[in-house]
Structure 1
């Protein structure tokens, strides 16, 4: 059964995919954006909250619960890894009520970009090297999510080459992958509003399946990709590979091979790697970010008393399909800055850091008796990461 969070993220991915231009190589992940929009919506009010809820497809409160559940699914599934990060400027005071909506053990102090880039490299095993665009110096908070997907095929492909006789790739040769299987129902043809869409499902040994989608030649790229996302769950007309009696569908050919006693499905697909960066504010209406990104006044009152607005929103991705398997990494980041610039009252604040060996003194307050004193040269190592559970009352 598809949960509300999964349904919301899938629909966001489909709406985003529908905007892809013809001839434009791309990769995108609504699953990498949707949880961040949910946590952001809980910090907004009025028009900003309503716009974010429209993009989420549900009210803010249940969206936060669904986002936390979705992160749990991604963390527990074999073949995926997901982690949320929150970096906060040391002078920014967050409301405890909002902070408790964010999964525990995600908060760090915002000090430059090196720590964030190292976090991205760590959680993508080096597939991504951080963000291509660093945060603005006046950024006060970064809310980010990293998602990786890795699997090996249950049935590997064979590496080879193939020359293309006609179509947009005519006269060119590519590295191709070939595979034969008796499970012809790995292939399905769906009848959609934008014509027929052919989908080949490739299963990994983990919980991952990669669907390869091809549509009719005259249908826009975005429409084909969106149909490939929604059609398998829409319950509309379809024909499975074992039911096909003609080649009247995109990408299909029917072959006769008397040497085999069992009918087979042969599949050929080019080996590929696609990488892309997205400026999510450029599609602010799609993601519900138009109002919350206007810096003229407070846009996130439930997050902090300091006037805040979203200053940047970016996603970086890479995905590779090979003979052995599939791997991809997604890094999504929302930068939050002071609306109208840094508050003047911060100019004279005083801060203190115990960033080298220090002492401590314990007193009995009523009598003034010093009970013990000491000197710290080796602070404790970080605590093990705790799983977030509803109802925890963690203070920042």
Structure 2
């Protein structure tokens, strides 16, 4: 793994850092040599290779592009949630997807770089520093994902975020690209045979480790043309600031998109909370013990649970104010798992060039590459005590030839609804979702 050190100032705009090394490196040849990459170990997680480049941690205060990256991540999340079937649950981690795409952007050139920068909200070193700073901000809450117990959540939120790159053992990649991933993302590097089941076991083991076992396997399949896989994982375990009383949870009716009414375990609590109404939708912010909060949005009857980016922006502003409202909340427990191929919605966002050969330009990684897969998996559990959520994003790179009433506001979440888990300091959306059926 790359060593960490904190950097409080950004590089000059558009300027490349002058200690990046040039030229492709054969990973097999580099292991055990003085080429700047050294072997750390092997086993089911693959042969780990350590860059001698430090992970430079950038602060939010030193990075002007952070608000643009946050807004871009919110818009990305809104698009990916809306791309799902309205009758099915859809949970994504916009933060996870954005970081994975940002790692890909480090090796993109020409039009490929331009479209990625547009989706990510920043370009070049500003983009690198913005996503570096956002990760550093949430990793104040880092911890061991293996320690998470859904029945006994930690008093202080645990937010684990990790990045990795797995390179096929027979492929050469640009040394500068690997150094940029180490420096800006702390991405550990492993070597494996991505053409067969042994490489799949390497990908699987990393996913299980960094989601605490809540996601069991990688969504990337072995392929003789697979050159490298970028992996990002996010795990959140957090207690509510004001837990719900389990003894008052009861089955209440919940209306599915089809109109069918089903009984769902529903929590009840009267609390003072940030509350807002927007075009007939009700929204409440439920804080965890510190650092993070969940926004729950109940759309008006007849409307779907997917919100636009503009809706999320406006609700975020409204829910960030100091005024608290007396709310009587009825909220279903949630236990859902979702998986999605993100290639179609990313094409719709204008990233189609990345998935076409020879139009894709990823020559900052290696010649003749295009993106063959972008896979996302997520889980979300919400109960009286708090929340556990996990997500992975994997990019497979392939070669080719509020009111103040005297009585409480009543918010009964009894039909499909939207959720978002945000980092309060930055507003970075860690998870977003449309819950069509909270039973999963």
TM-based fold match above 0.5: yes
Q: Equivalent of 1:179, from 269, 275, 287?
A: 269
Provide the rounded CA distance (Å) in 2 between the counterparts of 1:237 and 1:87: 40
- My pick for the range that moved more, 124-133 or 142-151, is 124-133
Deviation of the 1:138 alpha carbon: 2.3
Superposition deviation, residue 240 in structure 1: 6.0
Call closer, same or farther: CA 1:238–1:156 in 2, change over 3 Å: closer
Matched, 1:35 2:96: no
Q: Alpha-carbon deviation of 1:84?
A: 0.3
CA distance in 1, matches of 2:97, 2:108: 17
1:288 CA drift (Å): 4.5
Aligned position for 1:56? 120
1:168-247 correspondence to structure 2 within 5 Å: 171-181=261-271, 183=272, 186-191=273-278, 195-223=279-307, 226=309, 229-234=312-317, 242=325
Contact 2:220/2:396 (8 A) holds in 1: no
Is residue 312 from structure 1 mapped to residue 373 from structure 2 by the alignment? yes
Spell out the pairing of 1:1-396 with structure 2 (5 A cutoff).
3-77=67-141, 78-103=157-182, 104=186, 106-111=188-193, 112-159=199-246, 160-164=249-253, 171-181=261-271, 183=272, 186-191=273-278, 195-223=279-307, 226=309, 229-234=312-317, 242=325, 264-286=326-348, 288-296=350-358, 299-304=361-366, 306-340=367-401
Shift of 1:314: 0.4
Q: Do the aligned partners of residues 171 and 57 (structure 1) sit closer, same or farther apart at CA in structure 2, a change above 3 Å counting?
A: closer
CA deviations over 1:299-348 (Å, ceiling 9, x no partner): 211112x31111111000000101111010000000111122xxxxxxxx
- Stretches of structure 2 lacking an aligned partner (at least 5 in a row): 1-60, 142-156, 194-198, 402-440
Alpha-carbon distance in 1 for matches of 2:253, 2:360:
56
Q: Which whole-Å CA distance do the structure 2 matches of 1:333 and 1:74 have between them?
A: 20
Say if 1:203 and 1:234 are closer, same or farther in 2 by CA, change over 3 A. closer
RMSD: 2.7
Decide which structure has greater strand share.
2
Q: What is the rounded CA distance, in whole Å, between the counterparts of 2:187 and 2:79 in structure 1?
A: 32
SS in 2 for 1:101: helix
Cα distance change, pair 67–238 in 1 and its aligned pair in 2 (3 A): closer
1:289 Cα shift?
3.2
Match of 1:114, SS? helix
Paired positions, count = 311
Q: For the structure 1 residues 3 and 297, does the alpha-carbon distance in structure 2 shift closer, same or farther, using more than 3 Å as the test?
A: closer
Deviates more, 1:126-135 or 1:169-178: 169-178
Partner of 1:254: none
On the 8 A contact 2:252/2:266 being kept in 1, the answer is no
Aligned to 1:245: none
Q: Which has the larger radius of gyration?
A: 1
Q: Find the residue that maps to 1:300 and give its secondary structure.
A: coil
Kept in 2: contact 1:16–1:286 (CA 8 A): no
Which residue of 2 is the match for residue 361 of structure 1?
none
Structure 2 CA distance, aligned partners of 1:35 and 1:24?
A: 26
- Name stretches of at least 5 consecutive residues in structure 1 with no aligned partner: 243-263, 341-396
C-alpha change, 1:239 and 1:90, in structure 2 (3 Å) is closer
Alpha-carbon distance between aligned partners in 2 of 1:217 and 1:227, rounded to the nearest angstrom: 20
In structure 2, C-alpha distance between the alignment counterparts of 1:276 and 1:269, rounded to whole Å: 20
CA distance in 2, matches of 1:337, 1:66: 27
